[in-house]
Amino acid sequence: MKKTVTALADGRELIYYDRADGRVRDAVDRRPLAAVSTSSEVRRDPLLGDSVAVASHRQGRIYHPPADECPLCPSTGGRLSEIPDDGYDVVVFENRFPSLAGDSGRCEVVCFTSDHDTSFAGLTGEQAALVLAAWTDRTAELAGLPQVAQVFCFENRGAEIGVTLGHPHGQIYGYPFVTPRTGRMLDSARAHREETGRNLFDDVVARELAGERVVLEGEHWAAFVPYAAHWPYEVHLYPRRRVLDLRDLGEDARAEFPRMYLELLRRFDRIFGPGQPPTPYISAWHQAPFAAPGREEFALHLELFTIRRTTGKLKFLAGSESGMDVFINDVPPEAAARRLREVASQ
């Protein structure tokens, strides 16, 4: 992998990740951009203890542009985009409309491919491996920033999820705090250690792999629908050797990941039958925060889920979920796992 760091016209950082070591990236951003001005701040809810990012400048972000005006496609001729070059493998750049910025953290965009009309599931294994390398590199870089306490790499796919740009891409958030969801997992892991003397994640994975909700197994990764899945179709992917974050993955696990992950994504696109539109999903890496108490008890894993509960119907977060954080799942996890096994690649 070759990494080339450059800057956009407004000073934001842009990084090319290339499979070919000899690739030269010297294109210049020719757009007349003013310096980015953000109003991001983090406020703490005194009742719940949650942190909320307030970012009013995001109201002006680009919303469902036509394909020939996509800001994530390469620049060609007189059409200039966020990527100055006329082609790329993987690109990461600072978000022009960040939810978190300055002392409040950092937001980046990850473009998985220059091909506007594909998806992550359409990548080759080599392309997916390069995305994993980019995620890992960004985790390592952001870990060195004093304002970043936790790194979250994720992909939102589909208009139903709220995606406003159709180009295959994801995001990376560098939070200035430990997120509530991670905090709850750390609390549970701490309590489990005190009660049993064992690691909670190790016990959960061992229990799941001995049961009926296993979806896919490899030598270095395993995927299953969790016992208490919140979403109609939800899969958790774990490395078999517990590690804290992407930086700790061994070479064997890195080599096997593309095959495992691409297979899961392709199964998601098949679960509702032939002729259906691509399945909307959220794919989220959970990594240990950098300095939280009990960090050593955490386990890197990826959670993949869709808000579609059946053909033509979505799972909406209504009163119980949105008002009380109590999820009600219409699809039994065992049935979801069975369906995800049925649609395996031939």
Of the residues 169, 192, 220, 236, only one is catalytic, namely: 169
Q: Beta partners for 283?
A: 155, 304
Cβ proximity of 146 and 12 under 8 Å = no
169 is catalytic: yes
> In whole angstroms, what is the distance from residue 199 CA to residue 331 CA?
29
Instruction: Fill in the amino acid letter for 274.
Output: P
73 in a known ligand binding site: yes
Instruction: Fill in the amino acid letter for 229.
Output: A
236 in a known ligand binding site: no
> Residue 313, by phi and psi: left (phi above 0), alpha (psi -120 to 50) or beta?
beta
Helix H segments across 197-318?
A: 200-209, 251-268
Q: In which residue are the tokens 């430990």 written? A: 178
167 in a known ligand binding site: yes
Task: Give all strands of the β-sheet with 214-217 in edge-to-edge order.
Answer: 2-7, 13-18, 90-94, 106-111, 169-175, 150-157, 281-286, 301-306, 233-239, 221-224, 214-217
DSSP 49-89: --EEEE-GGGGGS--S--GGG-TTSBPBTTB--SB-SS--S
Non-local (6+) Cβ contacts of 237 within 8 A are 221, 222, 223, 260, 261, 264, 301, 302, 303, 304
Cβ proximity of 280 and 233 under 8 Å = no
Q: Beta partners for 234?
A: 305
> In whole angstroms, what is the distance from residue 153 CA to residue 130 CA?
14
> In whole angstroms, what is the distance from residue 239 CA to residue 131 CA?
17
Per the annotation, binding residues for Zn(2+) are 70, 73, 116, 167
Per the annotation, binding residues are 70, 73, 116, 167
Catalytic residue set: 169
